[in-house]
Amino acid sequence: MQLNRTSGDLQENTGTFESVGGLEIFYRNYPAEDERARLVIVHGIGEHSGRYGNVFRKLVPRNISVWAMDLRGHGKSGGRRGHILAFDDYINDVSSMMDVARQGMQDQGKSFLLGHSMGGLIALAFALRYPARIDGVIVSSPSLGIAVKVPFLKKAVGKIMSYAVPGLTLSNGIDITMLSHDKEVVRAYADDPLVHDRVSARWFTEIVKTMEKLSNSASELKTPILMQLAGDDQLTDVNASKEFFGAITVDDKAMYVYERLYHEIYNESEERRAGPLQDLEEWVEAHL
C-alpha cells in the first residue's frame, strides 16, 4: 500500500486487490482518527474514486474512515473502458472492496455503502443481495431510470449488438454541463485523464435489465436507506427514484430532493452542495 497526502491534510492510502476474472481493482482509503465507522463509495459511469474529495473532507474529520474504489473499466483499475459482461461483475468488485474495507474492523463496528448515479444502482443491488453485510445504504442521484427515454428500436438494436458484438463501445452521450453548476467542476471533469465516455453494448443491456429488476424489488430492501436526489437532474430519472423509494417497506428510510441542484449533488457549487453533505453527515451520525 502506498502512502501520500491529499488536500485538507487527509491521509490517503492507495492499494489494489484482485477481483473476479483476475482484474486488478484500484482503491483509495482515508483513515479516520478514533474511528467510529467505515464507509465505501461506488462512483458513477465513466468517472473514478478521486472525484469524491468533498465527501472525504466531510466525513473523515467526523471519525468515519472512507474507502473509494475504481470499478473495473474505470480510473486506475483494469478492464476495458465502460465494458462488463454481466452486472454481477460490478457486484463482485464491491463485494471484494467491502471485504478489504472491513479488514481489522471490530465486530461491533458499523459499515455503510454509498453509491452515486450508476454506483447508486450498484449499491442498491448489493444491499438487496447482502443486507447483513452493511448497516445502511446511501444513494445520490441513483440510475434507476434514464432521464431521456431510449426509443424502442434503439433498445432492440442494443440487445442484438449485446450478443453479437458485446464489447462494441460508443460514447455514453452524457452532457457534462449538466453535472454541476460549478464550471470548475465541469472543466476538471472534461480535462481529467481518468474520466472516459465509453459504454459497451453489453453494458447498456445489463444496466437496463438491472434497472427493470430493481424497480420491482424495492419492497425487498431490508437495509436502512438514505436517498438524495437532484431535483434538476437531466441525466437520471428522478421520478423512477421517487417511485422506488415509495415502494420501500423498511421503516428506516429517508429521502431528500434538492430542487435546484444538478446531477452531482456533492460536487455542486459550494453553497449548493452544503445541504446534501450536511444531510449525509447527519444521517450517518444518527446510525452509529
Let me know if residue 287 belongs to a domain. no
Span 108-117, pLDDT tens digits: 789 999 999 9
Q: Has residue 27 got a pLDDT over 70?
A: yes
**What whole-number distance in Å separates Cα of residue 251 and Cα of residue 225?**
9
The SS3 of residue 173 is: coil
Let me know if residue 184 belongs to a domain. yes
**What whole-number distance in Å separates Cα of residue 144 and Cα of residue 68?**
21
Q: Work out the average pLDDT over 58-69.
A: 97
The SS3 of residue 1 is: coil
Q: State yes or no: is 263 an active-site residue.
A: yes
Distances (CA, A) of 228 to 152, 183, 270: 30, 22, 17
Q: At what angle do helices 238-247 and 201-215 cross, to 10 degrees?
A: 40
The SS3 of residue 147 is: coil
Q: Which residue has the higher pLDDT, 134 or 167?
A: 134
Asked if 12 contacts 30 with a C-beta cutoff of 8 angstroms, the reply is yes
In which residue are the cell numbers 470548475 written? 184
Let me know if residue 288 belongs to a domain. no
- Count: domains in the chain: 1
Q: Which of 70, 89, 135, 233 is catalytic?
A: 233
How many Cβ atoms sit within 10 Å of the Cβ of residue 4? 8
**Whether the model pTM is above 0.75:** yes
**What whole-number distance in Å separates Cα of residue 29 and Cα of residue 3?**
10
Span 199-232, pLDDT tens digits: 998 999 999 999 999 999 999 999 999 999 999 9
* Domain boundaries, position 143: 2-282
Confidence of residue 153 (pLDDT cuts 50, 70, 90): very low
Q: State yes or no: is 232 an active-site residue.
A: no
226 phi, psi to nearest 5 deg: -115, 125
Which alpha helices (DSSP H) does 192-237 contain, by range? 201-215
Which of 58, 120, 123 is CA-nearest to residue 264? 120
Q: State yes or no: is 287 an active-site residue.
A: no
The SS3 of residue 140 is: strand
114 phi, psi to nearest 5 deg: -120, 130
Let me know if residue 11 belongs to a domain. yes
CA angle 53, 109, 65 (to 5 degrees): 15
Let me know if residue 91 belongs to a domain. yes
Q: Which of 117, 143, 162, 241 is catalytic?
A: 117
What pLDDT score was predicted for residue 154? 54
Asked if 136 contacts 115 with a C-beta cutoff of 8 angstroms, the reply is no
CATH number at residue 258: 3.40.50.1820
Let me know if residue 50 belongs to a domain. yes
Q: Work out the average pLDDT over 136-161.
A: 74
C-alpha atoms less than 13 angstroms from C-alpha of 90 in its C-beta half-sphere: 28
Percent of the chain whose predicted confidence (pLDDT) is above 70: 90
